[in-house]
Structure 1
């Protein structure tokens, strides 16, 4: 059922995602060193995430200090995903929880396999 919804609404979701206030506020992405699957990388190239999202299920946890760019990285990952996956459409969804100290924002990428 989710696959059918993504197929029917993918174009609208992709365009509307780009206009979200949070995405607009975090459109400047500054590359920083990251640890991905235990490996330290000088930055986060989109190719580094491809193997993760080629899996049937994937989870990416972004952990860092306050105001370090977590939301900017999440938005950038979503923008890469919607741009670079024409064969497997992905619909991003950004959930806000009013700057909760526990989970300020959750980015979910719904895809079709």
Structure 2
């Protein structure tokens, strides 16, 4: 058997290679983009929350285990402070993006369907 005899596709070929994304019309594209963007932002927010929890717990363990070592205590405090600042930045980013969208005249820039409908040709 030669390497060229191995089939690379299912019998009959690919009927819908892009899955459900390739089966819809152009009118559904903005809502699909919104769903994708919402999922990405949600996953990134969950990752940030898990990271904050990890940093906060590791800072707490560092404070507990520092004992008399002032350097280790200061390092643990900096770790906790960095985690709190990072969480604040993640939460504040949503409000800053919304403010920038309002200042630029896009209205709700966090709602991509409205944004796409504003910039698409009529």
Task: Say which structure is richer in helix.
Answer: 2
Q: TM-score, normalised by structure 2?
A: 0.25
Structure index of larger Rg: 2
Q: TM-score, normalised by structure 1?
A: 0.26
With a CA cutoff of 8 Å and minimum separation of 6, indicate the structure with the bigger relative contact order: 1
